[in-house]
Chains A and B, each alone.
Chain A
Amino acid sequence: MPLQARYSDGATATMRDVVLALDTEVSSPELIIADQHSFDEIDRWPVGRVFSLPSHSSELRVGVEGRPAGARLVFTGAEPIEVAHALFPELPSHRRREAGRQLRILGFSTLALVSVVAAYVFGVPLIANRVTALVPPQWEANLGAVAEGQIMQIINAEGGFATCDRDPNSVANRAIARFTAAVMEGSNSPFEANITVVRSEIPNAFALPGGHAYYFSALLAKTESADEFAGVMAHEIGHVIYRHGMESLIASSATGLLVGFVLGDMTNVSVAGAVGATLIDSRFSREAEREADRFAAATAVRLGFDPAALATLLERVAGDDTMSQSLAFLSTHPLTIERRAALEAMVKETAGASHAPVFSDAEWQAIKAMCGGVAANPVLSPNLIPSARTHSVPRN
């Protein structure tokens, strides 16, 4: 029985039942396609130019080069497929080549993507820095104002966020302003740092883009020396000078773009994307914290207060528990142990430098008394602060 198939010439929308025969008389073998009933020859396909197409498991579908794109021969059933395979011995190797080609494309594009991700993860802390320098300070000040408005809104809804001492000329506020100016000196920062002590039950401090920083009364209550207070303020001013708020915005925008690209969801609604983005962003955030710590330590050395005092306060307020140690790579802050080690290394380098008080006793007493003892305000959710893209010293 001759080999039967369904045939379309790719020019008209008809499928004809045909019989096939192989012509080996010519220089290169040709497949003769003839009508099943009249045996009239319809076409001749050069066997070497036949290629297979993805087809249903019950079929073998082949096309041919040099004919319309839709020209097809379709073999149905196990036996015709077997015979057809004998007719076109090249098909399996064609198919393997095509599979190999797809695999190479997939492999190379995956490699390209992996290198993009790697370049991003290791390169963005460097690039974000450069890009931040290009952002006009006015934009950053606007951003800070927006963030401040939002934070105030949330905090006011939860019972208020009162400034402890509203008089800018009080002993305490003048001492803080003098210290801030001394820290900022020579930094060439376009911003004016401005630290406000506010009433809150959360032991925390944070800086907003544009220069505003806050020191919470609960943290002040746990601050035992003027050097600890100075260390935290220097750390926050470090965030302002290095424009970390801006940097983290740039970095997380870039992360969103990357994760969107990886997951193929540019609208970024996917939560899986958010998980990946958080992992990458918290890495940048930890790097920013280290940079602010280094700034605080260098400032301590310059102004002559104890660089390790910051670490002492950190340990008192937020010592590492086992959970935070094991999940350190998810945290926005480095481990306290690690921060202490880095700060102490700085201390050793500068051993012998004089430790002069940055605040007089009277000033420090005035600062301690700013909020009139421990704050008595409703509890504020600690999650507010990281979500507002700010930086805080101790972890809550």
Chain B
Amino acid sequence: MTVTTEGPWARAEQQGGRPERPGTFVQFTGGRGELFGRLLRGYLLMLPTLGLYRFWLTTTKRRFYWQNTVIGDDRLEYTGSAVQLLIGFLFAIGVFLPIYIGFFYLSFQSSTIAAIGYGAAALLLWFLSGYAIYRGRDFRLSRTLWRGVRFDQKGSALGYAVRRFFWSLLVLVTAGLAFPFMAGNLWRYRYSHTWYGDRQFTFTGSWKTVAGPFYRAWAVFAASIAMAVGASLAGYGAAAGLSVLLALVVGCLCFVYYRSRETSRMFSAVRLGDASLDIEVKARSLLGQYLLYGVCVIGALIVLGLIGYILSSALNANFRAADFSAANIARSGWIGVALGVGGYLATVSAFTLLGEVFIDCGYWMRVARGATILNLDSLDDVRATAEDSSVAGEGLADALNVGSF
């Protein structure tokens, strides 16, 4: 029996007609519509709360993802709360204030010192973002409950940040060629310090697991860039433009291809005692998500543009009729600015919202529905460990904009 995994309409078929493989399927019962509703409500509530509602929105969004992920008849549960995120954010401000004051001090220095200082600050932020990613992961895992037992992230966030920092410098220096080594190393660090109750995860993958797909994608992309550069140097006007466009498209395709391979192969190298994970995410189904996102963004832009056009022409008609008193002019200025700022916010929010609904949610749906767990029964004798109540890590992730889901 063939299974279609293309497009959003494939969900029903997929749920009913999965191929017979050994092991337990992971299910995802949520729909984009529900997520869209939650996000839209959250975005609107952010306006009157000056953005503070974001902590509640993150919480409700996580509940959506967790509650709809079903492993062996039991749903995941997210036990974190918005207040914890709020407190975590206040901690993060404590970290950021000194950096901010440092920036302020630098602006008084001579250009050279300032350039060195800003460079150092950028490196510090890059380093901190590794720390924040790890602490954020700890926050989410330790608030994930399945069958009454929670997960946890141990290991050292600082150690992870150091590894990620130096690996990423090496990747930069080698024009990306060192990436599989970084990926293998960081995945191993993350998963070999992940726990479910008193049982530790292991990671059987290495750089070899992703080397093939990565170097293939790298070579194809490099070749397309070389072609574009060659065409530009040779001075073929139209051909050069076309080959740059081609390089962009090829780059996107390579990215999607590699992402699907990394997801499938790396997750499939995750073990928990005798239980093992097996994930298959097809590149073309991921690509479908991106295309869908593109179509929806264009649609949203057209709709927003039409609304803006109708509003502004209604406004114009209104003011042409009225006399040009100072009060009227001032009012039209205010309305115009409000319209501009509102339009800007609406456009940015629409981009983010659609990105979350199609790309983030689409990715998670593909991962969850492509996942099988072998030997799930072996987890029956896992025992719970004590509570983890640290909240500081997630705030930093939020502040640095690296928090996920």
- Chain A interface (Cβ < 8 Å from any Cβ of B): 6, 8-15, 53-56, 59, 61, 68-72, 74, 102, 105-106, 109-110, 113-114, 117, 135, 139-140, 142-143, 145-146, 149, 249-250, 253, 256-257, 261-267, 269, 271-272, 275, 322-323, 325-330
Contact = CB atoms under 8 A, between A and B. Distances in A.
Contact of B114 (A6, A106, A146, A266): A146
Nearest to B63: A54
A15 B150 CA distance: 14
Given A325-B326, A326-B329, A70 B150 contact: yes
Contacts of B67: 54-56, 59
A202 B345 CA distance: 35
B378 to A, nearest CB: 10
Contacts of B92: 266
15 contacts: A10-B148, A12-B381, A72-B145, A102-B83, A106-B53, A114-B50, A117-B50, A250-B104, A253-B107, A256-B100, A266-B400, A271-B348, A322-B329, A326-B330, A327-B333
B344 A275 contact: yes
Nearest to A256: B100
Given A14-B380, A15-B73, A61-B77, A322 B125 contact: no
Given A272-B344, A325-B330, A15 B147 contact: yes
Given A110-B49, A264-B89, A266-B92, A142 B109 contact: yes
A110 B55 CA distance: 12
B149 interface: yes
A143 B384 contact: no
Contact of B383 (A11, A114, A256, A261): A11
Nearest to A6: B74
Contact of B147 (A14, A102, A261, A323): A14
Contacts of A54: 63, 67, 78
A56 B78 CA distance: 11
A56 B147 CA distance: 15
B380 A11 contact: no
A74 to B, nearest CB: 8
B75 A106 contact: no
B364 interface: no
A13 B148 contact: yes
A139 B110 CA distance: 10
B149 A272 contact: no
A54 B65 CA distance: 13
A59 B108 CA distance: 60
B55 to A, nearest CB: 8
Given A12-B382, A68-B148, A275-B344, A267 B52 contact: no
A263 B150 CA distance: 32
A149 to B, nearest CB: 7
B185 interface: no
B52 A110 contact: yes
Contact of B401 (A106, A267, A275, A327): A267
A143 B105 CA distance: 10
B341 interface: yes
Interface in B290-324: 324
A13 B330 contact: no
Contacts of B107: 143, 249, 253
A329 B29 CA distance: 50
B100 A106 contact: no
B337 A253 contact: no
Given A106-B49, A263-B51, A56 B73 contact: no
A325 B332 CA distance: 11
A313 to B, nearest CB: 24
Contacts of A323: 333
A253 B96 CA distance: 13
Contacts of A10: 148-149, 384
A11 B50 contact: no
A139 B108 contact: yes
Nearest to A270: B348
B74 A70 contact: no
B123 interface: no
Interface string B356-399: 00000000000000000000000111111001000000000011
A50 B134 CA distance: 34
Interface in B30-79: 48-54, 56, 63, 67-68, 73-75, 77-79
Given A56-B29, A59-B75, A149-B111, A264 B147 contact: no
B82 interface: yes
